[in-house]
Every structure is written in structure tokens, then in C-alpha cells.
Structure 1
Amino acid sequence: MKIATYNINGVNGRIETLLKWLEMSAPDIVCLQELKCEDKSFPITKIKQAGYHAVWHGQKSWNGVAVLSRKEIKELRNDLPGEDPEFTHSRYLEVFTFEMVVGCIYLPFGNPLPGEKYEYKKRWFSRLVAHANTLIATGLPVILVGDYNVMPTELDTYKPEKYKNDALFRPEIREHFQSLLDQGWTDAIRTLHPDERIYTYWDYLRKAWERNAGLRLDHFLLSTDLAEKLKAGNVDKQVRGWDGASDHAPVWVELAAKPLKKNLKKSGAKRAVKRTSIADFPQAVQDLIHGGAQMPMPEGIRPMKATLVDKPFDEPGWLYEIKWDGYRAVSYIQKHQARIYSRNNLEFTQFDAISDALRVLPFNAILDGEIVALKGDGTSDFGALQNWKNTRKAQLQYYIFDILYLEGHSLLELNLTQRREILEAILPSDDQTLKLSKAYETSGIDFFDAARRLKLEGIIAKRADGYYSSDSRSREWLKIKAKRRQEVVIGGYTRNEGTDKFFSALAIGVYNAEGNLHYIGKVGTGFDAAMQKTLMSKFEKLVTKRCPFETIPDVDEPSQFRPQRLGAKPTWLKPVLVCEIEFAEITRDGKARQASFKGLREDKKPNEVILEVEKDTQSIIQEVNLDHGLSENSTMTSGQELPKTSKNKTLKVSKPLIEGSGETIEKKIDGHNLKFTNLNKFYWPEDKVTKRDMFNYYDAIAPLMLPYLKDRPMSLNRFPGGIHSQSFYQKDVKEIAPDWAHTMPHTNEKGEEKSYLLGEGKATLLWMASLGCIEINPWFSRVTAPDNPDYCVIDLDPDKNTFDQVIQAAQVTRQILSDIGVTGYAKTSGSTGIHIYIPLGAKYTYEQSQLFARLIVRQVNRELPKFTTLERSINKRGGKMYLDFLQNRPGATIAGVYSLRPKPGATVSMPLDWDEVKQGLKMKDFTIFNAIGRLKETGDLFSGVLGTGIDMQEIIRHAQGKFS
């Protein structure tokens, strides 16, 4: 393939020169600059007669650019992102043709220097650099070609000293060009002719062309995959000598059909460095790896998931990646064997091309990424991926974006930037199957715009300093979809009267909060006859007489767009197949409109398929920024004065339990030997809070905390590697509890025999902490009366709410309780909400406690309907604060009073005096740094929670008159 650029300097005046050269050189793609004609005057008829399609963007006086191609052209954009109203000299036209992105560029000279035109040129070049960064991040084949009006090196001018103060040769402009090369672009002509003076422009004056007093101003910048195909290139210098020719000559490059390995070194592309051990890595990378906890390779890691938000954003501290349309895949490489698992730990055995490439890597590692099948244009083809096992026609690539484990070290305690530094070191740069999914600091809005124009799935935004949270839907990974996609469960199919197809449409649904399959409409497009036949072979085994949806839908329901019935008859299927659809919108009655079938999802479990609702981007960003301490409002530190309140039992603190800097120590606590290990491990890395600090906190807080733990079954929420490590719940301690621990045999609702740990003394508390229990989660009831809670809890759980709204809801709750003669006790959750406790004295059942809480929150909702809700389903809350009364049930737990939380900031669930519950209160007012100092002054504000409790019957009788 031959691609050329030609500054024609007036296309209508030089049309015959252009046509003559096109016939002689026969390029496949041509970029033209300086058209100097309006759009309506572009000579499209003659261009077509020469055998070319064309897209152009003209301008009467100054400029204009065009792209000609022997194939059809799809225009992507006709300007760079951003605006600069001061001048309009520059031009940029971006198109898609020959399965590549072509950017046609014209930058002005920028003279006189200094001056406004030069300043404009610098600004425009900056916009180009930013957009180029976005383009190269897509991984698509891209060529940026045209008249840059810059000479990158001394070789690019016949007389460097003459131009040292010219806008074409100024250091700032050359630095902009170099920054493009630093992104990974290849300067094609200089690569092919590294030591030659190649010129593309000669002034009209003083016979410059005849004495070859030229400049190289016209450039081809190629993305890596195109650079690997670079075969030849030069300048058709003779055209400059034709009568009436432009002051530029056409420049061209030729690309081979397949990569030419010999060009890699010339093009400047990085070659893979052979590394067979950690010792081969740069020292900085070695230090990062050794900073991870040493441990055997874990199994069954479920990948971190991204939260769907409604729009792109620009925010410092975030990286942006392409959202690939494929199968999420976690791969385990051990002893030159590779196993690949889906997000639900189902093994992928069909992708042997990926496995073969992975097992060559000389490391034991766990990688996270996406397996995709690529079309010719570089975009992913989910249908081809789904059928790859049968056809094996598509090109498979494994886009790897994270590394979780390497050579005996867990990397979960490292942030994303650090993990990616290791990942870049471990992956070969020239592998055609294993690809690093590129991440860039750029404009998220522009990056999304590029993805949308290029028909990509969307983008992923990730906090650069974020940590990997296994099996969680993190708000530090956000996905913004350019196409609306949804996974759905197939509950049946329909056939219209008179059709000769296997079926007319699929009846689809998603699971709601109650666990019922909810019908959301039909999908009748997106499958050809072959796919229908494949689906029917699966359907035949799943036919059932029972409708799987919660209510039997009218599958032949007319609509405003199709008022007539088609005689559709349903055949119900067992709901075990999951597919993905693309759709226009969810209508008011909850149906997917204009749904199109995209393929089966064998990597998804049906009961996990719910309707994915976009969250408000700005609210999520604000929340994440607060978590990372980026809020404009500062949080309370240990040096600030703490509020003084009542004089309950005070806290006396002696010296810390564990001093010094050793990694391991044994201590006798309550007469029992406890071993404390990994004492220098940062459990809160951002805050430099170690495991030692956690032990010292719980030792100091024990006198106040233990009354709320004694004799209560505990739910162990373990974070063995700190707050960003993979966590898990453990309720049965039969096999791990020490002999001296108190336990409670218990049969849960599923009939499973459990042995719960009981809160007892300080030794039990510190033993839980030694297991990585950052937060302490006691039952609401004690072993002496397991069905009778000591208190009722109302959990104010915000969604898109401000904390001031949480405070307002807490004060309204307090007033309602006060009106019926009840004293409530408030504490921060340590995360985002507030908990309000009502003492019951173990006189009532959990069911009675829940009914009482429901009575209260229903009244709160009546008073604050605009931002509170009783809707349990997150998808149906509409961003409102959930007034959670359902926590009042057997076995349910929330973070206990004085508990640390596994959140950045090392926050504490802290009791509050009601005078403190007002605007200005912040969750991070109470942390591991200042909790002990506060409690020395306030004492225990929560002791009333364990009091005799309310007379519920009398209170409800009194409340009925107030709330009726």
C-alpha cells in the first residue's frame, strides 16, 4: 500500500499537476494541504474521474485539507479537540479508510517570530500532541501525515544556522515534535533514511530547488503496528520542477501487507528485553516487587469490576484505557504452564493460542486482562470471539492491564501505577498475541470522544493511585460506554405466524433485588440463519412449560411503532443462557428498545445478571476524591482540637502494646500467648499506618470497646494484606480458633453447622486483629439470647447524597424518636453514613426490632422524600439515601462501635454527641490518629445503648397517634 502527502498550494490552480502525478505515482491514499478553496469549489468531479473517493475541509483564503482514497472514506472528525478562536490557519481532518485511521495535518509557518501567529502555532501543536496521545492509546493502526511546518533535526535543512530563529526550527516546536515520537510514533522518512538530507520543500526564490536548498517539513508519523510494515518511502522531487508546481513535492511511504521484523530497530520501536528472573529488572522495579507480601500463589481470584457512570470526565489523578469487547480473563502462569479463568472462575480451555503465548513467559505470575478477537480495522469482534472455538478464523489478542502476583510476591498492596510499571517490565513489547493495554494520562472527554468516533466499546477510567480490590465493583475503576450494552438472561423465544425462521425473537430478562427474573422485552435482530441454528440446538435441551419470568409477559404486545399483533407464540426456556445485547434505551415501562443480539456470554452466571444502571459521574468522582484526601476541605488531624462533650467513662492509655521496629513479636494477653507478625506492613498504605499501629489501637481502645463485644457472635471480615488486599468473610472458626477462645455452635438458615467466635476479652479482640480483621463486626444479640437483639439499628446509607444530607436525615430521625419518647445514639459508620442505635434490652425479637425500625424510617422518608428512600434495590433507588431497617435480622452485622474501617484515612466508627451532628461534621474527623485523644476527653458516649431498653408496646401505641 502506498500513502502520500502533498501540499498542493492551491488545488484548483494546480489540478492538472495533481492529476498527472496521481497517474504517474498511483498512491492508494493521498493527503492534501493548502487547498485554498471553499468546500463548494473543491474539484471533486475530476478527483472521482481519477479513481479516488475524497473528503475535504476547505477554506477560502488560507488553507484547507483533503484525503483521497481508492477505497471508501469515513470521516471521523474535521478538527482537533479543544478550541482556539484567535486564528483559523491550521487544519486537521481525520478519516477511516483501508482499515486504518488517517490524520491529515496542516500547521502554519508561525512567522513572524515572536508574534501571535507563533503563539497560536504552539497552542495548536499542543492540542495535536494531546490528541495523538489519545489515538495511540486506542491500539488502532494510525498514521498522522501532512505539512507540520517543523524541521525536527539539523539534517532537515540545508543551512541550520540560517533558520535557528525561524518558527520552523525553534526549540519549542521541535520539542513538540519530539514529544510525539516519545509517545511511540515513528518518523517514517527519517527511519528509512537516517543519515540523509531529505527535503520536501524548496522556496520559490533564488532557484532554491535547482541548488537543492530545501527543508523537510512534510512528515509521516506511524503507530507501532504500521511502523512494523514500513517498506519504503521517499520524495517525488522531480514534481517540484514541473512548470507551475507547488513549492512542496509529494512525499510517499509504502507499507507491506505483514510486519517486517527488520524495520523494528530502525523505526525506534522497543524490542523485548530478555528477562528470566527478578534480578534482570531495573532496580526500581525490583524494589516494587520485593515490597509485596511474600506468599504462595493464590487461587480463585475474582477480578475487580468497574462501576458504570453516565459520562466521561477530566480529572487529575486518573488514567484512561480502551474498554475492550471480549472475555475478562485472569491467567495463572506457573512452572511454564498457563491456566486462564473467566470472571466467575470458569476455566477457558479453548484459547490455546493465548495459553501458548503465556507459558513462554519465564515467570510465575497472575495477570488480569481481556481476550478479544480483532477485525481487520483493529476493533474487537465479540461474535468472532464467541465462535472462535469452532471457526478459529479471528486473530486473538490478550490485552493485559494488570498484574496481581509475581514470583512469590503479592502485588495487591501496590497502587495501579506501580503495578503497571512491573507489568510493562514483564511483558515482551513485540509479541503479537500478548498486548499491554495502554493507559494514558490525557483528557478523559477527548479520549471518550475518540473511542466513540472510532466505534469502540467505550473507555475505562482508573485512579492512578488506586488499589486492586478482588471481586468488588470499585468506584476507582469507572466505565463509560460509547455503546449501550447489557447482559440479559434468555427466558424463551417466539415465532411469528407464517415465519420460516427458527424463531422470531428472544424473550429476555434480568434479575431484580428479590431474585426474580424480570422481563425487559424481546430482541429480534443481530443473528443470521447460522446463529439461529446454533441457538436452537441449545434451546432444544432447555424447553420448559413453566414461564421463568416473575410474571408471564405478553410477548406479542403491540407498541406505538408496531400497533398490530404478529401472532407471536412463546416457547419458555430454563433461564440458564446469558447473552449480550446492544440497545437504544430502556423505556419508561422498563423495556429495552431497538435491542440487537451480540452473542452468548458463557463467562457469566445467570443469577448475577442485573440491570446495570449508570451512576452520576460527578458524585462518584467526588466520593473517590474524598477517599483519597483530594477534597478542598481539609480533614481533622491529630493536632486539631477535638470537640468536648459529656463526661462518661474515660480512657486511660499506657504505653503502646508493641514498640520498636521488629517484624514479629509474641505477647501474653490475658494469660494467653499471641504472636503478632508482619508488624511493619502498611495496612493503610496511603496513610502510612502499619499493622503494628492497628494492634496498638485495639489494645488501647479495648476498655471501651469490649462491653459491646462480650458474648456476641463475631463475623470475621479478614483483610490479610491490608485494606487493598483481597478480603473474605469467615464465620466458622471451628478449625482455626485457639483452645482458649469462646465459641457458639449454630445452625444457620441453610442448615449449615457453624461455630461462631464469641467476643470475650482483649486476647480475643487482638487475635481477631492478628487474622487481618481490620473492622470488628459483632451480632446485635448475645449468646445468652441469640434471637433477642440488645439494640435496634437504623443505617443511613447514602448513594448520591452529600454528607450534609446524611446529617439532616440523622437529625430528623432523632427528632422523630424524641417525639415518641425514645433516646437514640448516633455514631459514624466510618465509611459514608451514620448509624443510629435504639436500646432494646434484649426484650424483643429481631422481627419486632425490624418492624419498629421500619415505623421510624417510614416517617423519616415522609419528611425527606426528595433524597431518601425505603427501596432496597440499588437499581431502583434513583440515587437516594437508603433508610436501611433490614439490618435488624439474625446474623446481620455492621461495623461495631470504635471499629477501624478498611478505608483510606484509617477512619473509626465513632460515637457522637447529638450536638456534633451538624453541618461541617466529616467522616474523617475520627481516625486512628485522633480517636484515643478524643476518647480521653469525651469518654464512652454510647453506654446507654446497653441499657434497659425502651417499652416498645407503649412507644408504638404513643407513636400511632403521632404518625397516623
Structure 2
Amino acid sequence: MRTSTVKKKRSSPPAKAGKVSGKLQTLLRKYGFTDAPEKPFPKTVKPMLATLVDQPPGGEGWLYEVKWDGYRAVALCKNGDVNLISRNNKSFNDKFYPVHQALLQLNKNAVIDGEICVLNEKGIAHFGALQNWRSEADGELIYYIFDLLWYDGKDLTGLPLTSRRGLLEALIPGTDIIRYSESFNTSATDLLAATKKMGMEGIMAKKADSFYIQDRSRDWLKIKSNKRHEVVIGGFTNNEGSPKAFSSLLVGVYENGKLRYTGKIGTGFNTRQQQELMQRFQPLKIKKCPFIETPDVNQPSRFRPNPPVATATWLKPELVCEVSYAEITGDGVMRHPSFEGMRTDKPAKAVTAEESAELVDILPQKEKTKTVRLTKPVGTRSRKSLLNPTEATQVKQVSQHQLKFSNLGKKFWPKEGYTKRDMLNYYYQMAPYILPYLQHRPQSLNRFPNGIEGKSFYQKDVTAVAPEWVKQFPYRTSEGEDKNFLVVEDEASLLWMANLGAIEMNPWNSTIHNPDNPDWCLIDLDPDKGNTFAQVIQTAQVVHEVLEGLGIKSYPKTSGSTGIHIYIPLNAKYSYDQCQLFGKLVATKAQEQLPTFTSIERMTRNRKGKIYIDYLQNRPKATLAAPYSLRPKPGATVSMPLYWEEVRKGLKMTDFTIENALARVKSEGDLFKPVLGRGINLERLLKKF
């Protein structure tokens, strides 16, 4: 499956409201859709903003929702195109490509308001996780939708909120990524208490009859469980003798166009985040303090009467981050602030002090009802993309190792357009299935650094290039040199190898734990140029019949090239000599039944254009493309395990490619699993020949 490249597919416009089912037509009338005025599709939308208050409202006429801790995003969808924008009109199309793709697949003419979040396993959104999100491997990305502003030529902003939400739920189907943000029939006090207990950001209170206005409004209120705010970074400090990139961030907010200092943030970021921030700070360094008053970065406190000596570096006030804190002191400085993440959806000049209004000035007293469940667990996450579709170089943490992936846009299959990124994403997704056939096995690398049409070369020795955490297995050359094979132990070493341009995986038949005892015996059907694939299929069927006649279960797979591979499990109980003898006996019996177009002759010139029934692959250090391995062939084919019933007329190599291999394995499971199972009684079988 082509996992990393987002394609915009132009599709036919959605059906008009008049062509919908009777049930939906009733809902459209109920919620006032038919009476809504017609209006052209908007080019952009400024989202309706809520007013921060210090306590939850009560009384009748309010809808309560979870305040999702993420990025506000409006989806402008029309005629198969989607523009996903932030609240300051920046595009999220590439940054949050799974949401963009999910909206494309909806194929709706609509303007939808919502919040993009990353959820943990309990369904709770955390802004820090979203801020660090680069690809689907970094967390479960969800687009919570809560309002519908325009649909199929109709302006819905003048309808009451309950009508807009009713239409949203009826007209916009949910997906794995797109979720409807529920409203809760409970008291605001109880809902806020529940969000605080669960570590969520807070709640939203919206008047049920409110219209949608593109401005801040008191018809929508936000109440935070914990105090959080956006701040502008105006500098950083370095403590004397500290090994850290920086010790704290100096931050503030704008008042009347000038930056007022609100404190320094010394916690909440890890080493990697500090290093990334320092890279962003470099071009912003200035000599003059950007704050109205220069903060005293060495001021002692009750808790630190003798703080370490710090020096300040000033920055152009252009970067915005989010901070959580206990409270604001009388002089406007935050107590116990902690860094939550960078924000790119809001310009620095728009960051002002956001003081909560006294609720008594706005609403009557609250009333109390019971609490309800707030979140939906994300469930078991399926593997999606490791690498996002835009950045040419990306660094990822895999199996506790940091890997740098480069040249990701390079076309490895030029005709089909598949890139190095597509290949790496494939191996990341296929890792749970292919790793059992690679683990603890030395590898022979077949490297294609410039794709299948570029120069390639084989590499066995990785002594000089492999990082220290990659396992190696020693060997000695005929010249007496000591060298090392690469040994795949986990998905990090698998992806490190693939990143070298090793398109196909070529493991030994034995592991480093039993190097002289293969785990399987294999028969490789290798056709010559004059053979047809129908003849290869016929030969495989005969080999199958020979093995069945001996009471042996065998397991076929496509080679991904021109042949078929047949595996017989041995469970590392026999030597390579025993394995090869058995393979020769099976190959001989099959060749005797098909003498006109098969051969067991090793030398090509002696085969005379016949299919080679190769049993000599059963020898030490020999390698063959692993199950589920990609092949450096046109079409980006895959060496795919098969049911024997599939080895019949009509089977083609191109049936299994990078596009569909993962879907097949998810559907059928690992058909090759028995190859690593109990194994046959080879000694008893050899007596039958």
C-alpha cells in the first residue's frame, strides 16, 4: 500500500439535498436546512471564539462539550478538494495529512469546524503530543468536529447551534480519524470536575440557540481545568556550569502592542526539544531585550535564595508556546510554569493576557446533575506511516534508537512513482510480519541507493558503516580478513538496513544461534527466458504433489520476480547437508515428471532453457528474498506467501505489490507461520527414498 504520499483525487460532487433518502430529508427539514439561505462557498473562515470564564455556567439552554487540547481547524471541502486551515488561516493540509486525506475521502461539499488532537490510549488529548507529531507513528491523530457552517450551497451560520450540530451528525459520517464531538447532558460543574480528574484541558459551554459569528463571543464559554495560556518567547537563559542547551525560557504577552514579561519556564521540555528549539532560536537572536522592562533573571526567591548565576540571550519575539501554571501572582508573573509545546497556529502579536471573566457578570447560578463518561479509547492502533509525506529528511525514535532517514523523496520505482519514503513506510508497517523471518539471521544487502534503475551492489560486510547498536556476526574472507554480517534483531535494524537502499531482505536460512542448522528446506523454481509462468505454476504443483505423497506440508510464496519458492519446516534439527540431500531428492522426483521443460542442472548452459528446480540454495550462507520482502522489480512487487489453492492458472507476480500487500496480510494473516513451527522428521523421510 502506498502509505506516505497524499493524493488529491478529483471526484464528482456530493449529491444534492433533494436526492437524499426520505429519512434524511426529514432530518434536513427538522433542523432547518431547507430554509437556510443559499450562499457561495466561502474562500476562508474566521472561526468563532469562546470567552474564558473562571467557573462553569448553570441553568437551562447550554450545551457542554469537552475542550479538546489541540489545534483549532476549519475544513473547507468542495468538489473533491479540501483546504484544512488553522484559526489564523495557515494550511494544515501537509502537516496533518491523515486528517486531510480522511476529509478528501468523505467527498462532501461542506465547511466544518473542529479541533485536531493526538489521543493517548485512554482517549485523552495532550497538546505536547500534538506539537511533536510528525507522522502516524507519533500518535493517534483525531479530528473532533463540532460545528457545520455551510453545506451544499446553504449557509448554516444563522441556524441555532442545536440545528447545526444535528445536521453535522446527520450529514458528516465519522471515520477512524474524524469523530463527532459529543455534548453531554450533565451539569457543567460535574463535567469540569471529571475533566480535571482525567487530566483534560477543560470544557466548553455553548448556548444551544447561538448563531455562528466569526468573532469572539460570550455565547461560547471556555472553562479550563488547569490554568494554561499561550506566551511569546522573548529570550532564554543559561545557568553557569549547566550542560543543557538552555536553562529556561523567558516569556511574555502583549499589552497595547508591547511585550510584558510573565515569567521564565524551566521545566516541561526534554533534551531533544531543547536542541530543536535552539535551532529555531539561532536566526532570532538580538542584542536588545524585547520586554517592556528587562527581567531580573538572577532574582532570588523564597525557594531558591541563592540561584545559579544565569545569563540571558534575547530573541525577536516571534515564537509562541503554550504553558501551564498554578496561578498569576499580583505582579503578573506565573507561578510554577511548565512548557507544554510550541504553537504555530497563532501569531505572536495576537498573544495577549487572557484573564477569565467573573461568571456572575454573565450568567445565573449553576445547577447540579450527574457526571458522564467523556472519552472513547482509541483501541489497538494499527501501524500506519512512520514518515510524513513532505520532509525529505526525518529523525525517528525506533526501538529506543534514533534513526535519521534521508533522501525520502527519491524515486525508487520511477515508473510507478514510489519513493524511498514509500519503501520505508512499507517495512515499518510490515515489520510485525516480516521480522520473524529476519531476526537473528545474517543478511546479504542488495543496495539500490538510487532506486531500481540506478546502479546497485551487494554488501556483506557492515563493520565500517553500522552503528554500535546494530548486531553483527563475524566471518573471515578467503584472504583471511575478519569482517561482519549485519544481523537483524528488531525493527530499528530492519529500517536502518532499508534506509541504506536495501530494497529486498535476504536472510540466511539459519540463525546465529544455530548457524549450521537451517530452519527450513526450500525449493526455488527459477525459470529461464524461454519459460512461461504457467510452466512455473505447473512445476510448483508437481513439487507439491511429491511432498504431499510423502505426507509433508509445504508452504509456497511468489518470489516477487519470475519464480516461486516452496518452503518445508525443519525447526533447525538437521544439518545443511541433510537438508540439501532431501531437497535434491524432492527436486529429482519433480523433474522426472516434467522432463521437457525442467532441469536440476546447476550450470546454466546445461539446462538448455529449462526451469531450474534449485535445491542448492540449501547451503550455509545462501540467501533468498524473505517472505513479505519487496523486490527491486518493476511494479514494486512483493514476495508473498500463498495458499496452495492460489498456485494455479492466472496467478501473476504483479498480483502482490507495495500497494496491496499489507491489506492482504491483515486479511489473511501470516500464511508462512508454520514454516517456523515444529518441523518434519527428516531422518525418517530420507529412508523412504
**Structure-2-length-normalised TM-score:** 0.49
Structure showing greater relative contact order (alpha-carbon pairs closer than 8 Å, 6 or more residues apart): 2
Normalised by the length of structure 1, the TM-score is 0.35
Greater gyration radius: 1
